[in-house]
Chains A and B, each alone.
Chain A
Amino acid sequence: EPEVTQTPSHQVTQMGQEVILRCVPISNHLYFYWYRQILGQKVEFLVSFYNNEISEKSEIFDDQFSVERPDGSNFTLKIRSTKLEDSAMYFCASRGTPTTGELFFGEGSRLTVL
């Protein structure tokens, strides 16, 4: 069964450092998302991406965050200067159509900022 894969599974970084989280969406999907979940809290939307540009972003997705699809398979989330409050699970998701059908999530990347 096709799946969304994410790397790394866990990353520990110092405050102020840059972090790149990587995702390989399901191969025939065109719509990509990043969500995050702070421990014990709700899953929150960060950004959606289609046709090589951001479709929508939340208030959380400030200038410290960026997304990129550098090639035909990878989808990345970059945090330029990490803060303590960026510690969370980051989930990549993809779907084949934007308005119907399943949205599939990866297993997540746990980011710990010290």
Chain B
Amino acid sequence: EDQVTQSPEALRLQEGESSSLNCSYTVSGLRGLFWYRQDPGKGPEFLFTLYSAGEEKEKERLKATLTKKESFLHITAPKPEDSATYLCAVQAHFNNAGNMLTFGGGTRLMVKP
């Protein structure tokens, strides 16, 4: 069974204080690892997809990296508007006819001015 574990569950940062969020996964062959941002009461907003170990993607203050067991979302000099829940999800290659995503529990990030 595919599993995704995110840590920490919650993270408080001061504005400008860089940090990283972790996503550990076990999957029957990784087809893709997805990062989403979710604001309260809203749908997940797509950030990145990573497909193979060693791959990195960046968007503004966010950088996602991928190894064979985990992914990191690095946040550089965060601002209060980066406060949200960040979700990680995996898409398995095998036994996944519907190409579903399996989500982790998320990391709730709070950035204080």
Contacts and interface: CB of A to CB of B under 8 A. Distances in A.
Contacts of A89: 41
A79 B112 CA distance: 41
A48 interface: yes
Q: Which range holds the interface residue count of chain A?
A: 20 to 34
Contact of A45 (B46, B97, B100): B100
Q: Which range holds the interface residue count of chain B?
A: 20 to 34
Interface stretch (A14-22, A70-78, A80-88, A96-104): A96-104
Contacts of A6: 43
A91 B101 CA distance: 13
A48 B99 contact: yes
B34 A55 contact: no
Contact of B98 (A44, A48, A101, A106): A48
Contact of B99 (A4, A31, A54, A57): A31
Interface in B55-113: 87, 89, 91, 96-106
B99 A98 contact: yes
Nearest to A91: B43
Interface of A: 4, 6, 31, 33, 35, 41-45, 47-48, 54-58, 89, 91, 98-108, 110
Given A89-B41, A91-B44, A99-B31, 19 more contacts: A42-B104, A43-B87, A43-B89, A45-B98, A45-B101, A47-B98, A55-B99, A56-B96, A56-B98, A58-B100, A99-B91, A99-B99, A101-B49, A102-B46, A103-B34, A105-B45, A105-B46, A108-B42, A108-B43
